[in-house]
Each structure stands twice: as C-alpha cells, then as structure tokens.
Structure 1
Amino acid sequence: MEINLGIYISALGTVLGALPALLIRNVSHRVKDNLLAYSAGIMVAASAYALIPSTLKLSNMFVLTVGILVGTAVLTLLEIVLPHQDAGHGADSAQIRPLLIIAAMAIHNIPEGISVGVSYASQFAELGSLVSFSIGLQNIPEGFLVCLFLVTNRIPRLQAFLYTAFTGLIECVSSLIGLQLSDAFLGIVPYGLAFAAGAMLFVVYKELIPESHGDGNERSATFSFVIGLISMIYLTNLSL
C-alpha cells in the first residue's frame, strides 16, 4: 500500500502542476526558464545524493558505470527513434502537434517512473519514498509548463489537461514495470538505480539546462538550479 501510494504521489505532481496552467494565459520566458532550472537541480541532486550512493552500497563502480552509460544510451536512442519535438525556444508553435509534445514527455517520464519503481524494490527502506517525492516535486513545474504550452497553442483547456495527465499515467505505469522487474530479478536493482541516474542526468544536460538558457536568462536560471539542488539535498538529509 505504501509503495503504491508513493508511485501515485510521484505521478500526481504532473497533474498538480497542470491545474494552475488552466488559469494562466501568459507566463514570461524568465519564469519558464527558472522552473526548468529548478527541476534540473532537483533531478541532479536526486541522482547524485540518492540513486548513485545507493547503487554503490548495493554493488560497485563497475555496475554504476554500466548502468549510467546504458541509461544515457537508451535515452539517446529513444530521442532518435521516437518522433517528438520539444517545446523549445524559437520553435514554430503552430507546427507542433500535441502528440509530439506527449512523445517528448514520455521520453522524460519513462526513466523517472522506472527510477521510482526500482528504488522501492531496493533494500533501502527510505530510498523509494525519497526518490518518489523528489520526482513528484520536479514533476510539478514540468506539468505546469507542458499544460501551459498546449493551452497557449490553442488546445482546449480540458484537452490540454488530459494530455498532461496522461503523461503522468505513463510515469505511473513505468514505475510499476520497474517495481515488477526488480521484484523478479533482485540482482538488477543496482543496475536499475544506476540506469535511472544516467537517464535523469541525460534529461538534465540535454534538455533542461539548454532550454533554461535559451532566452538570455542564464543567471537567474543558474540560481534556480542551485536552489533546486540545495532543496533536494536538504530533503535527502532529512530522510537519512
């Protein structure tokens, strides 16, 4: 019950973030960039202070290296293979279909969900709750930005909300898959944790940081990144 609740809570962040976007018509690029950077800080801290140390406790540097490299490679392959387009700066909004945005979100949310499921399957009782909470926290600004993008591109508000909520469902399903695979093959838990860390670091460096620096807001985005990092480190220490 506790495990299922944690999985649902992490996915619920996307839905909670989408709700205020239904009431707002215009948000400056500075606010968007700062939200993205804050999310990036949370994800880096979750990887560096939760997933990676737990992998090393369960295994060794070889497993960590393999898992991170495989996670990075899989995300790279998914980005190449799956047809998607990020809601990037300078993109022609009129040309971007909702399906492409959902595909982009799926690329982000699949490894996040797997990391939650694998974390709950590990022998560290507090790790699942910590990773679930951290992913849910960074899903709030992510859900807000995606829903806002759809609304500002003339997608009906209810439809935009349902699209965004669907990406949360994808993460929830990914969490359950990660949990079931880890239950059946406990030996893959450390690989799964390292895989999730590599995938999250890929998303941060490839997507979130470049996107947050796309409109000349590098300085404020940098501070937002650091604040997100510190916030997650603080939460990590509270759980220890």
Structure 2
Amino acid sequence: MFKIALITGLAVGAATLIGSLLAFVVKKISHKFNDMLLAFAAGIMLGATFFSLVLPSLEGGGEYGIFVTAGGVIAGALLVTVLDRIVPHLHSFIGVEDDGEGTSHRLMLFVLAIAFHNLPEGMAVGVGFGGGNVGDALSIAIAIALQNIPEGMITIFPLLMAGLSKKRALLVGACTGLVEVLGVLIGFTSVTLVQSLLPFLLALAGGTMLYVISNDMIPETHSHGFAKQATFSVIAGFIAMMFIDHIF
C-alpha cells in the first residue's frame, strides 16, 4: 500500500509539472476558459471531499461520529487558515509591484505560498491510502491531479513575469509538485501509526479541501464576469466525481 501511495503521490505532483509545461505551449488563455476549467476542478474536489473523505469519516466514527467528523472538518479549515497567515497568499503575488525587497525574496515567498497550499492536498491523498480504501484514495488523487494542471499553468506566469528563465520556472513548478508527495507521506504515516485517528484525519483532510475550494477556487472563478458558466462547471465537476467514485 505504501508503494501505491508513493507512486500515486508522484503522479499527483507530476500533474503540476504537466500544467507548467502546458503554460509554455498555451502561453495565454482567456479568463472565461480559465474560470470554467478551475470551476470544473473545484467541483471534482468538492465531490471527492464529500464521497471519499466526509462520508467515510461519518461511517467510521462510531457512536460519536458526527462530532468527530465535524471537529475534523473544522480542524482542517483552521490548519489551512494558519498556513495562510504564516505565508502570504498566492494571489497577492500575481502582478505584484516591486516593493524594494528584491525579486529573489518575492519569488521565495511565492514558492512557499504554493508549497504550503499543496501540502494539505497531498495529506488528503495519503490519509485515503492509509485508511486502506484504495478506491477512495484514487478518487481523491484524481480530483487533486485535475486541479493541479490549471494550478501549474497559473504558477508559471508570475515566475516568468518576475524574470526567471523558462528552465528555472519549470524547476520551481516541479518542486512545488514534489511538496504534494511529502504531504502524501505525512498523511499515510499518520494514519498507519495511529489507525484509531482515521475518521478524524479523513475529516481533517476534507476540511482542508473545503477551505481551498471555498476560499481560493470559487471566488477566483466567479470574479471575472463568467459566474454562471463557472457555476455549471462546478456542477459538472461534481457529477463527474460521482461517476469516478462509482467506478472505483
């Protein structure tokens, strides 16, 4: 199971690299297409959160499962909130003006912001595999991988605007994807060592994903005048995740 989790984590991280490579090919995409793509990924992640994390947490939480799940979801949201406070948010660095601190310093913060947001996503995959349910774990991994492709594209543009060479920008994109692998290992190890915490950790992983969907993805997809198209894309992503979960 550990080998499967590791290989899946590498594949999920590689999705960020694929998105980075696509950025060099596409170079520029319309706000409408970008919003619909991200919204579809948000729907996929929302479905994975519900079907593969929250429901299994409720089912495995025993007599007080509802309280365990609720506590885990809240803890997951608080975890990402703390990470947001530790590291400046990704969006604040897109098109940022030179503040006198230097390009290298801003890029370091930029990379850290992406890395911290990828860590809990990787943990969600690791927790899924640690629980022994390969189907649920693969559903989560597919959802996050689909989200990582447009994220990889968005990551590259600010790096290039800041003056990085294409090779270095691609290397940075690959490194941010590797952080997700670290998250997989942390999540898998945590559940393996303390199996009794599985329902709580599943809910915690669900809380981190709900936070990212609500705080980062949906506001971004609904802020450029294409809210209706983005809304139907979220619904389409959620339905797609239902089929994926049913298949696995």
The verdict on a shared fold, with TM-score over 0.5 as the criterion, is: yes
CA distance in 2, matches of 1:237, 1:162: 36
Instruction: Answer yes or no: is the 8 Å Cα contact 1:69–1:198 preserved in 2.
Output: yes
What amino acid is aligned across from residue 216 of structure 1 in structure 2?
G
1:215 equivalent among 212, 215, 224 = 224
Q: How far off its partner does 1:130 sit?
A: 2.0
- Does 2:86 match 1:81? yes
TM-superposition CA deviations, 1:138-184 (whole Å, max 9, x none)? 21121122123433454321111111111111110111011112111
Q: Give the CA RMSD over aligned residues.
A: 1.9
Q: Residue 183 and residue 121 in structure 1: after superposition, are their counterparts in 2 closer, same or farther (change >3 A)?
A: same
Structure 2: unaligned runs, 5 residues or longer: none
Q: Residue 85 and residue 129 in structure 1: after superposition, are their counterparts in 2 closer, same or farther (change >3 A)?
A: closer
TM-superposition CA deviations, 1:30-73 (whole Å, max 9, x none)? 22222221221111111011111111121111110110000011
- Does 2:37 match 1:28? no
CA distance in 2, matches of 1:150, 1:166: 13
Aligned to 2:141: 132
Q: How far off its partner does 1:216 sit?
A: 1.4
Aligned to 1:5: 7
Aligned to 2:21: 19
CA distance in 1, matches of 2:163, 2:240: 35
Give the number of equivalent residue pairs: 237
- Does 2:99 match 1:93? no
CA distance in 2, matches of 1:201, 1:235: 19
Structure 1: unaligned runs, 5 residues or longer: none
SS of 2:26's partner is: coil
Alignment of 1:79-158 (within 5 A): 79-82=84-87, 84-87=88-91, 92-95=95-98, 97-158=106-167
Q: Residue 228 and residue 154 in structure 1: after superposition, are their counterparts in 2 closer, same or farther (change >3 A)?
A: farther
Q: How far off its partner does 1:94 sit?
A: 3.9
Aligned to 2:182: 173
Q: Normalising by structure 1, what TM-score?
A: 0.91
CA distance in 1, matches of 2:37, 2:110: 18
Q: How far off its partner does 1:107 sit?
A: 3.0
CA distance in 1, matches of 2:192, 2:147: 26
Identity of aligned residues (%): 31
TM-superposition CA deviations, 1:108-143 (whole Å, max 9, x none)? 211111111111010323222222222212211211
